[in-house]
Every structure is written in C-alpha cells, then in structure tokens.
A and B are shown apart, each in its own frame.
Chain A
C-alpha cells in the first residue's frame, strides 16, 4: 500500500511534469514544422515568389489556424499515448505467434485505433492546407446523361484521409514490432537541448524514409482494395462517382506524380511530428533525477535513494534511482561520503546496507534467472534421455522430417516459452515486479514433473492472453516443455487429457503407459512440426529468448557500476570501513554472475557479437544489453581487483572463486 503511494508521488511529481514539458515543447515546435510543410507542399520551381506569397497568406488564414489547433490536439493525444504506453523494459516476442498476440492485444488495439484516427485527422489537416484539388470530400458536378447538378465524391480527398489512417495504423503496428514504446537510457549524459539537436537529423531522415515505405504500401493496398471504402463512402454520404474523371485505384490514377509527392510529404509531416513527440518524451523522461542520499526530515525519507532503489514499482523510478546511483558513485565524492556515513544514533551504515543489498539482490536475481534458463536446456536433454523409446523416435523423425533440419522443434519450443512468459509478466503491470518470473526460491528443479503436468493446461492458455500469473507457476513453465506439453500449446486436444491420468508416475521408472504417451506426443509434435504454417508461427525468432532474458539488464548494469565504483572509492574514502564488511559478498555475487554469464554465452544459440543495428528512430538498445552487461561485469570485477590488488587475498571467499579472482588479479580473463 505504502509503495503504491510512493510511486504515485514520483509519477505525479516528476514523470507527469516531464511528459507535460515534452508535449509542450512538441506543440511549440509545431508551427515551424507546419511552416516548412506548407512551403514544401506548395513549392513550385517556376514561380518562387508566388509560392512564398501564397504560403504567407495561407499561414495566416483562418482554416490554417483551425487545422493548427487540431494538430495541437493530435500532438497532445499522441504525447498522452506515449506516456501511457512507454516502458523501460521492452516486451520481446519470442515467436511469431507471441508477436501476433501482442498485436491483437486489446490494449494495443486501442492504441492502433487512436493512431488511425489521429492519422486521419492529420491527413485532413494536410489536405486542407495543401488545398487545390484535395480540399473537400464532395464537389458539384453534372450528371453525365441528363446534366443536372449533383454532389460527386472527390476521390483525392478520400485517398488522403485513408492514407493518413493507413500511415497511423502502420506506425502503431511497427511500434509494436520494433518496440517503439521502449525508452532506453543513454550511456552518455548530455543536456536535453544538445541531445535533441543531435538526433533531429535522424528523425527527419527516418520519417522521410518511413513515409516513403508507408506510402508505397498504401498505394498497393489502395490499388487492390480501394473500391471498398469508396463505395461505402458513396453509399453512406449519398455521393456519386464522376465517371468523367479517372478512378484512382487504377495504374494511371495512382501514377500521378503530384499526388504521390503530396502523399509522401504529408506522411513525412505526420510521422515527423509524432517521432518528434516521441523523441522529446524519451529525452525528458530519461533525464537524470538526483535523489537525496539521506534526508534530515523523516517525512522525506521515502524519497531518498536507499529507499527508492528498493522500490519495485514504478519501474521508471527504480531505473532512475539506479542511474543516479551509478552516476553519484562515479562523479560525486560528497554524495559518496553520505553513502558511506553512519547513522547518527546507533552508528549503523543504513545507507550503504540498503543500497548494496538491493544491488546484490538484483545481481542474484539475474544469476538465478540465467541458471534456471541454463538448467532448462540441460534438464530438457536429460528428460529426453530417460525414455529410450522417445529418443529413438525423435532421432528417427529428425532424419525424416524436412522442416526441422536447422533446429529441432524441441529446443525451439522450449526456448520460446520462458521468454514469452517473461515478456508477458513485464506487461503485466503493477503486479509483476522485476523479480517476478524466476523467484529465488530453489524448489528443486527436478521435482515431480508429473505434478507440473497437472498445472499445465492452466498455464498453457495464459501466455498470450495477458492473464497475470503467479511467479511460481511462471517459474515452472520452462520445465513443462521438457516433459509433457509441447503440443498442448498448439491447441491440439489429444495429449492434454491423456497426460492427466498419470499424475503419480515417477519419471525415473517409466511405465508402458508413459512411454506410449511419450511416443504419441512425439508423433503429434512431429506431425505438427511438418506443417509449415505452424512451424512458422511457433518457431523461435532468432536471439529473442536471449534478448528477453536480459531485457531489464540496464538495471543490472547500473547496479554493477554503482557497486564497483563505490567499492573502488571506498579504498580511499570509506572512513568507517562499512564497505569492507560486504566486500566478500559483493565479490561473491559478481563472480557467480560472471560464471552464469559465461555459461550463457557458451550456449550454442547465443551469438557472441551484437548484430549491427542500423540507426533509426526505433531504439534497439535492448538487443545489445546482454553484451553491455557482459562487458560491464568484467570491468566491474577488474575495477575492484585493480583497486585492492593483493589485499583481496585476505578476503574470505570460496576456493573456486578465489581461483577465478586470481585470474582477474593476473589479468588473464
């Protein structure tokens, strides 16, 4: 209860104001953008002076001001959507079907709908501004046969409106696919103005290119399906089609260069204003917030860094607190001294204890997650080898089936699961803390797969429908794939009822029945695996599970940096030796994590180098977080070992860790 109150405090006092400021700046930047748009849309090479005078008169006209007010409203709504939908932990779809689930999620549907309408509004404003033949939906024409006047449909206007809707819709879809709502934090702190100035050319370039692709797609769609909305509009508004002009869903109608140019420039304008709003929002919301380390007033204690760091919700608060921790540990000796200070009555290092405990729990959490992930891969192999029959079948089918020569379906399905479940838990809202998917309780991973089978159908329906799950169930999900329910996820009935009657089976002595079931299941799975569509939908997207595993690693990176810099500074600054007491535990958690990370990168699917990302407005930082984490972890350990040197030999740590530490001391890692 208290924590929600706190989060309200931060969101209310900081995030909302930051969002409001970003929207205000976006609105302020709208007039120059609109002016540039007007000039570009009206420009004619032959009459430059006429163009300028036209533009000036247009910019001061009432209709422009009205459409300008409309555009401001659009920006407001888009900015509000940004605030509503942003996330600091990306949602990574691990298979096509999960992506589809994301796209069809009701929340996403609302988003797409709003974008669609907003796109239409912007396109209407554009059509109004450009004027000329685009201005109105209907116009007076004469009936071809009897010659009396009637209202005809202006198809150009319709094309514009639909183009706006299409671009808005595709913007929202691409936003889901590319995780455009993900807000990443910069490695380099810059002032907001400089950051905005630096990324402005990129925004212009991206919006122009994206507009080009969107318009191309739109034209293809309109060419084939354009008659449907046209007929519908004609029917509803009782408009007629002028048979003397060409219909636009024809080759000649669409190959109108002026129309294409106006469509493109309008789409660019639309996307530019939206991207700019998004960019400003990102810049404002990721700005460093300096939390006080300790406060002299108890009522402000909940706003202090040691308290805020431990909060689970909202995530943005935790991230900003960790970022602040990493920065203060690097740059600010006076704030570091507050961290190392002792409490006045009692003399306890509460600040340091709280901060170091939270950082270490973050690291332990990641270690746990990596180990669990690694274990699922390993136990999966073992579970398979338990029954010789199924092994034989699988080896047979792997020879026969053509679709699975690249990757066998078993690991693919397996890898998809933890990640997609994890991703879901991220969207899950306030109920899912950072540590949700893999709680550190170590109930034995091998305990009674049969029992898990019972819970299987409950879970299987969930991952793509957004129901909130308890961490315990989620933790077990990866194991499920190993034993029973590969095919249940496909919705095929036979195995799921069949697996229920065998709840008390021990996996170590498989009976005939279980063997039979195993074989059946293999057969069904292989049957399904050969269906191309199903394989396409359920195949793991490359790298996605690894990305999902490290989706929130920015927090771990800051925790590592903060801890290591604080430990380094403690060598000279820590007067009371508060860090010394926790140094063995810190080293331990880092070395354990190093082990887990090493093992993770040795997995066959884990690529060792980041894929090259083209620079675009979509932030793909989350794709490389695991590499950043690996580098930061190693640097953090080196930072401690170089600072303390041979003194570390006096630190109490386990033998195998000492060996590893010795490697670091000799610079052999």
Chain B
C-alpha cells in the first residue's frame, strides 16, 4: 500500500511546483518563473480586493418596511406565502391581541409541537440545523468554501474553455480562442457551490445555487460580455435547496442534482425542465454526486455514514455504510470500473471495483464487491526540510483522477491553525495492470502562504494530464504532467471521455479482490 512516507519531501518555502517531466516533479523559484507561467492566457489571478462583495442582508427585507398597518388577514396571507404553515402559526401566535385567545394559544401549542418534532429530526441529522451557507461550506468539495475567492471551477469537456465562479456570485467564462470573457450574473445565482459544463454540447453550463439550479446557454460565438438572464433556465423543486452537487450524465442527456436537505436525488431532463425524484430514506440528504465517465454508475454520498452507488440503467442503488464518517469525496476510473473514495475522519483512500453484468443481460444491476479495500494511507508523516519539520497528511478533502487514469490527486486538509501542517495536494501515479496500485509522484505546492482550495484535471490534455489548482489567494494555476500513457491512448479521436470501451477493460478483474493483500 502506498503511504506518504514514500513521497519525495515537500519543496522548501518559496518554490512552486511547475510540472512533471521525465517522471519527476520540477519546481522553480516563485518569482522568476511567474512571468513565464503567466504568459499563458489561462492562468488567472483574482485578488480578493478586486471583487465587489455585497453585504448580504437581503434574505429578508421585512425589517426595512413598516407593515403593522395591515390587517390580520393580510398579514396571515403574507405569512402563509412567505413562511408556509409555520409562518402562519407564528403570525397568529404573535398577534395574540387581535385574534381570539383560544386560536392564539392553540396555534402556539401546534407551533411548539412542530418545533419539538423538528428538533428531534434535527438531532437525528444535525446538518439540518445549519444555515444554507454553512451547509454548502460543510459539504462542498472546496476546502474552506466560505473563504474562497474562487467558488467553483469547471473545464469544458471538449474544448479549452472553462468557467470560474467567484465569491461575488458571478461566473466568468474564459476561452483562449476568444477575446471576450462573458460574465454571467443572475438574480438567483447566489452561493454557487458547483458548476459543470454539459457534455456533448458547446454552450450549456449548469450552476448549483443556493435556491435552485441554473442552466446557462452561453453562445460560444456571441460577442456579448453580459449574457442576459434570459439565457438561463431556472430549475427548482420545492425542498431541494441548497444544491451542493450536480453531475451531468456523460452522454449529456440528464443532469442530477443533490441537496443535503433533500433525501431525493433529482434527475433533470433539462430541455423539458422536468425532474424525477429518486427517493431513498436514510442518510438525511445527499451531499456529493459523481457520475462515472462511462455513465453506468453514480456515487451519491449522504451526510450520514452511508453512501450509495446508483446504477443508471434501471436506477437502483446499493447501500454502502461506512464505519467512521460520511463519504467526503470520490472519483471514478475512466472506464467506470473502479471507484476511489475517502471518508471523513479517516486518512486512507478506499477502492471499490465494479464488474459489469455480462453484456446483453437485461438485468441492470452490477455485481459489486463486498467490501472496500484500502489502497493508500495518507496518515500524518513528518518531513525534515530546510525550513524545519513539516507534517503532511490527514483527512482528504477531495480526490481527482485524470481522464486517462494515470494520475490521482488528493487534496489534504491539513490544519489551518498550525503553520507546519499546510493543506497540500498529493499526486499519485496509478497503474491498473497487472494489479491496481498507487505509486507516489509528489506534492504540488504553490506560492508561500497560498493553500490549494480546489483542483480539477483538464478533460483532454494531449501530452499527459493537466491539473488546474485554485489557490486561496485567488490565483488559478495549471500544473502539467507530461508522460506517455502506459496503455494505448484509449481516448477517441478528439478525446471524448464518454466513449464506451468495454473491450479495453483489463481481463483480470475477477481476481481483483487480492490486490490489497499483495500490496500491503
């Protein structure tokens, strides 16, 4: 099993990781390479000061108005509209001078009963008591989401453009081939938790917001820098907010969304703006979704120590209870046969291997393994560097696997309070044959003082893999890994990640259960 002790030590302070070449990570002094790095049009810098943040008091504008001149009926109707049943009860209880005594007392009793029941519910699932911003921060794939300048990042699956969601609730789209950078703003686009481009489409971008989902249609040929909000489709479902995770099907036909408040996963037919709720009890919500690149499975983790793996043929799911905490992050191998995931409170990466049911059989379920195997141990390890001891390791915030399945990046949380325990990205080399194993590659570090917040691999980088990292200081950099693929380049001609390639699947999956014993 791979552990951090096998890694080369982290770079001394002041050096940044530039790229991987000839099987080793090259680094450079910050300043002299900065200019070279920045020559690319895709390296961006969003200083925190440049963003105009609005003070967020608009959640209720009630306090600014005098509304006591309205009659009880009007206020009750307004309360019913704004706050639903509990709002109505609250209003009746509060205006006890105007209503009959029995009414106000009984509504007060019902309200207390409701609150008691909901507090009981909340004690079962503590996350339900969080505010929606806290909830997004808690369950986001980003490290320390509420403090991030870059809230979300997404490469287009087929071209070299990407979307960046910023702290001021705007989204910018950068395309090296075009001079215009459209800025997307919408009334409902608040607290963006995730963005993702629709596969097999040039223009559609799904945005997970606080209250709804937005699907922008940004015409790539348009010269407009501020597409109107008419270009956005609003998808919302009562009780399905805040949306913390979204995933497009690799075939581009469906979009799934998840909210920690809702136990159902919504499967959206975006064109028709209709949705189907896939409800399963247990877990208290859904926090993170990841669609396997071959489209056959979806990982759905819940706030409880439980995650599910859905198969997308007949939409049934397998339950996977965890021992310690909830599933924090996960990623799929390019052929969709292997799932790596990390669990909150544990410092290891687990692997699950799925073998498809024999082709052609109508039954949709796949036969999975019976237990997850540990493939890497990321427990804390002390490295002696020139600047003193640095402790690296700990819990994993997010995982990313490059589209060829050769490099795996793990964003380690570190400890923000301790200076010698920085958040860091550990990169592994992965090998699927003859047995699945992770080999150490190295750490990716940025400028001093900047901690990585978010990372994503470029979906079709020809020379190897390209890791895009968003740093806490608002910088977005790209770290290329130059290597030759071990196998035959398995991508389609223009690099579609969604090609089904059943015949390229290694044949020895049957004895995969042995691999942990072999390695450890």
Interface residues of A (CB under 8 A from B): 186-191, 194, 198, 290, 330-335, 561, 568-569, 571-572, 609-610, 612-613, 621, 624-625, 627-628, 630-632, 634-635, 638-639, 641-647, 665, 667-669
Residues of B near A191 (CB, < 8 A) are: 314, 316
Which residue on chain B has the smallest CB distance to residue A189? B314
B335-381 contacts to A (CB < 8 Å): 359-360, 362, 364
Complex: A630 Cα to B494 Cα, angstroms: 24
Known: A187-B269, A290-B362. A621 touches B253 (CB 8 A): no
Known: A290-B362, A638-B200. A621 touches B274 (CB 8 A): yes
| Contact between B503 and A572, CB atoms less than 8 A apart | yes
Complex: A190 Cα to B265 Cα, angstroms: 14
Q: How far is the CB of A51 from chain B (nearest CB, A)?
A: 22
Known: A632-B253, A635-B251. A198 touches B314 (CB 8 A): no
Complex: A609 Cα to B158 Cα, angstroms: 26
Interface size for chain B: under 10, 10 to 19, 20 to 34, or 35 or more residues? 35 or more
Interface residues of B (CB under 8 A from A): 156, 158-159, 200-203, 220-221, 233, 251-254, 267, 269-274, 276-279, 313-316, 359-360, 362, 364, 492-494, 496, 499-503
**Max chain A Cβ within 10 angstroms of own Cβ: one of B200, B276, B279:** B200
User: Per a CB cutoff under 8 Å, which of A194, A630, A644, A667 touches B158?
Assistant: A667
Which residue on chain B has the smallest CB distance to residue A640? B200
Q: How far is the CB of A72 from chain B (nearest CB, A)?
A: 31
Known: A642-B494, A642-B496, A667-B159. A330 touches B251 (CB 8 A): yes
Which residue on chain A has the smallest CB distance to residue B269? A187
Residues of A near B156 (CB, < 8 A) are: 667
User: Per a CB cutoff under 8 Å, which of A335, A610, A634 touches B201?
Assistant: A634
| Contact between B252 and A638, CB atoms less than 8 A apart | yes
Q: How far is the CB of B411 from chain A (nearest CB, A)?
A: 29
| Contact between B360 and A635, CB atoms less than 8 A apart | no
Known: A198-B276, A644-B493. 4 other contacts (CB 8 A): A632-B271, A635-B200, A639-B200, A645-B493
Q: How far is the CB of A497 from chain B (nearest CB, A)?
A: 48
A-B contact pairs, 27 of them (CB 8 A): A187-B254, A189-B364, A190-B314, A194-B315, A290-B362, A332-B359, A334-B360, A568-B499, A571-B492, A610-B271, A624-B272, A624-B274, A627-B271, A627-B272, A628-B271, A628-B272, A632-B271, A635-B251, A635-B252, A638-B201, A642-B200, A643-B499, A645-B492, A646-B493, A665-B494, A667-B156, A668-B202
Residues of A near B278 (CB, < 8 A) are: 190, 198
Q: How far is the CB of A620 from chain B (nearest CB, A)?
A: 8
User: Per a CB cutoff under 8 Å, which of A186, A331, A630, A668 touches B220?
Assistant: A668
Complex: A190 Cα to B312 Cα, angstroms: 9
Residues of A near B499 (CB, < 8 A) are: 568, 571-572, 643
Interface of B is mostly: loop
| Contact between A190 and B362, CB atoms less than 8 A apart | no
Which residue on chain B has the smallest CB distance to residue A327? B313
Which residue on chain A has the smallest CB distance to residue B200? A638
User: Per a CB cutoff under 8 Å, which of B158, B277, B316 touches A198?
Assistant: B277
| Contact between B272 and A188, CB atoms less than 8 A apart | no
Complex: A197 Cα to B271 Cα, angstroms: 25
Q: How far is the CB of B246 from chain A (nearest CB, A)?
A: 16
User: Per a CB cutoff under 8 Å, which of A334, A572, A610, A638 touches B501?
Assistant: A572
User: Per a CB cutoff under 8 Å, which of B200, B273, B493, B496 touches A612?
Assistant: B273
Q: How far is the CB of A571 from chain B (nearest CB, A)?
A: 7
- The 10 lowest CB-CB distance pairs between A and B, nearest first, are A334-B360, A645-B493, A624-B272, A631-B271, A645-B494, A638-B200, A667-B202, A642-B496, A627-B271, A628-B271
Complex: A638 Cα to B201 Cα, angstroms: 7
| Contact between A624 and B273, CB atoms less than 8 A apart | yes
Complex: A632 Cα to B271 Cα, angstroms: 9
Which residue on chain B has the smallest CB distance to residue A332? B360
Residues of B near A188 (CB, < 8 A) are: 254, 267, 276, 315
Residues of B near A635 (CB, < 8 A) are: 200-201, 251-253
Q: How far is the CB of A290 from chain B (nearest CB, A)?
A: 6
Q: How far is the CB of B84 from chain A (nearest CB, A)?
A: 15
| Contact between A624 and B200, CB atoms less than 8 A apart | no
Residues of A near B270 (CB, < 8 A) are: 631
Residues of B near A627 (CB, < 8 A) are: 271-273
Residues of A near B200 (CB, < 8 A) are: 635, 638-639, 642
Q: How far is the CB of B252 from chain A (nearest CB, A)?
A: 5
Complex: A611 Cα to B335 Cα, angstroms: 38
Complex: A642 Cα to B497 Cα, angstroms: 10
Residues of B near A665 (CB, < 8 A) are: 494
Known: A621-B274, A628-B271. A643 touches B362 (CB 8 A): no
Complex: A334 Cα to B253 Cα, angstroms: 23
| Contact between B492 and A668, CB atoms less than 8 A apart | no
Residues of B near A186 (CB, < 8 A) are: 276
Q: How far is the CB of A547 from chain B (nearest CB, A)?
A: 13
| Contact between A187 and B492, CB atoms less than 8 A apart | no
